[in-house]
């Protein structure tokens, strides 16, 4: 059990005042029934990284030709991907297949772009086989068909960005924390970051993924006071988290720091944060991600029907959340 944030420690009189220090939705992951229980030391966007060199080789300008929609992205794929016979030797874009949790990271905002959601706010109802989720997985399949064979990959759970770093894929969705990895790779600074692709750019839906600090409710009052003071200290320098780890704190004012001004494409990352839903909140998130991963891979690898696979995912998740 978690203790609600100590308002005295943070020098505020209400949870609303504390939330007002953050961008819209910045504390949504740790807010329940109007009380704030956790504060994020990272709330990272998932944005689209482009390899400028590969765009130039294809006769494309990464700024002018950067995709805003999934249809835009698919239109670029024939120009950016390379094949040798039936073998893909460079992908234009790829979704993640190294981790079910990463697959959920992409399917969640895609579902929201179609007007749906993966799970109800109270966590008691899943919508994995609802029309919006089916449309999202169908779009995932269509994008993959256009952009290159995902079976040919070096991405792993410990090195999720490897294909992009190696120049094996021209476009890849990842977080700002990957920026130091990109700069240390052969890509160096020859990259561009744009917003997460949309179904309708006028109604953007993105996602934010991160970690937060909380305090155990079942500890002595003195210990909890000290713990919240430690959390306050750890959150007091968002510019250092950005400089040293590439982590974005969704707090107002960080964009005005010198570190943020120098951080590549910080404005893009923060814009995606401001139109985002937090990654799924559920004690059963691992089981939900596993069900999503099985559906995704059956559709992509085996040519299975999206609705049929999501029906199976829905049944599996319902068994878990109804226990």
Percent of the chain with pLDDT over 90: 96
Dihedral class, residue 2 (left if φ above 0, else alpha if ψ from -120 to 50, else beta): beta
Q: Cα-Cα-Cα-Cα dihedral of 55, 60, 63, 67, to 10°?
A: -90
In the DSSP assignment, the letter for residue 105 is H
pLDDT tens by residue, 157-172: 999 999 999 999 999 9
User: What is the C-alpha separation between 319 and 298, in angstroms, rounded?
Assistant: 21
Half-sphere exposure of 226 (CA within 13 A, CB side): 5
What is the token pair recorded at 149? Answer: 């064979």
Residue of 130, 184, 136 whose CA lies nearest to 162: 184
Strand partners, 45: 208
Cβ burial 139-158 (10 Å sphere, 16+ → b, else e): bbbebbebbbbbeebebeee
User: What is the C-alpha separation between 38 and 32, in angstroms, rounded?
Assistant: 10
In the DSSP assignment, the letter for residue 219 is S
User: What is the C-alpha separation between 262 and 243, in angstroms, rounded?
Assistant: 9
Categorize the per-residue pLDDT at 177 as very low, low, confident or very high, splitting at 50, 70 and 90. very high
Sole residue written with tokens 């002018």: 64
Terminal Cα distance for the chain, rounded: 20
Percent of the chain with pLDDT over 70: 100
In the DSSP assignment, the letter for residue 176 is G
pLDDT tens by residue, 119-173: 999 999 999 999 999 999 999 999 999 999 999 999 999 999 999 999 999 999 9
Which residues, 6 or more positions from 195, have their beta carbon under 8 angstroms from its beta carbon? 47, 48, 68, 204, 206, 268, 271, 272
Q: So what CATH class is 1-323?
A: alpha beta
Q: Which long-range contacts (CB under 8 A, 24 or more apart) does 119-124 make?
A: 119/280, 119/282, 119/288, 123/281, 123/282, 123/283, 123/284, 123/321, 124/321
User: What is the C-alpha separation between 44 and 249, in angstroms, rounded?
Assistant: 7
What pLDDT does residue 157 have? Answer: 92
What pLDDT does residue 78 have? Answer: 96
The three-class DSSP label of residue 151 is: coil
CB contact at 8 A, 64 and 117: no
Mean pLDDT of 62-81: 98
What pLDDT does residue 86 have? Answer: 84
């Amino acid at each position: 059990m978690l203790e609600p944030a100590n308002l005295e420690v943070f020098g505020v009189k209400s949870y609303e005042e504390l939330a007002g220090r953050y961008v819209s939705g910045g504390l949504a992951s740790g807010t329940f029934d109007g009380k704030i229980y956790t504060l994020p030391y990272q709330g990272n966007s998932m944005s689209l990284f482009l390899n400028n060199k590969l765009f130039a080789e294809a006769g494309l300008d990464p700024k002018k030709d950067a995709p805003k929609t999934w249809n835009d992205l698919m239109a670029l794929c024939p120009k950016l991907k390379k094949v040798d016979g039936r073998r893909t030797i460079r992908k234009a874009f790829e979704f993640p297949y190294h981790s079910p949790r990463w697959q959920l990271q992409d399917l969640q905002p895609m579902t929201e772009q179609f007007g749906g959601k993966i799970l109800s706010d109270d966590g008691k109802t899943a919508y994995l086989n609802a029309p919006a989720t089916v449309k999202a997985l169908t779009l995932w399949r269509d994008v993959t068909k256009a952009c290159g064979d995902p079976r040919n990959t070096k991405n792993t759970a410990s090195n999720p960005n490897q294909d992009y770093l190696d120049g094996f894929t021209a476009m890849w969705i990842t977080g700002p924390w990957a920026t130091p990895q990109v700069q240390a790779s052969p890509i160096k600074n020859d990259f561009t970051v744009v917003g997460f692709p949309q179904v309708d750019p006028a109604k953007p839906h993105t996602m934010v993924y991160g970690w937060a600090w909380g305090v155990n409710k079942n500890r002595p009052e003195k210990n909890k006071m000290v713990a919240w003071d430690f959390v306050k200290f750890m959150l007091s320098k968002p510019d250092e988290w950005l400089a040293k780890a590439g982590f974005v704190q969704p707090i107002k004012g960080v964009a005005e720091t010198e570190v943020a001004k120098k951080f590549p494409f910080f404005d893009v990352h923060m814009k995606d944060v401001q139109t985002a839903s937090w990654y799924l909140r559920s004690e059963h998130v691992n089981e939900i991600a596993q069900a999503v991963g099985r559906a995704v891979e059956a559709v992509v690898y085996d040519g299975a029907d999206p609705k049929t696979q999501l029906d199976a995912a829905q049944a599996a998740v319902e068994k878990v959340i109804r226990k």
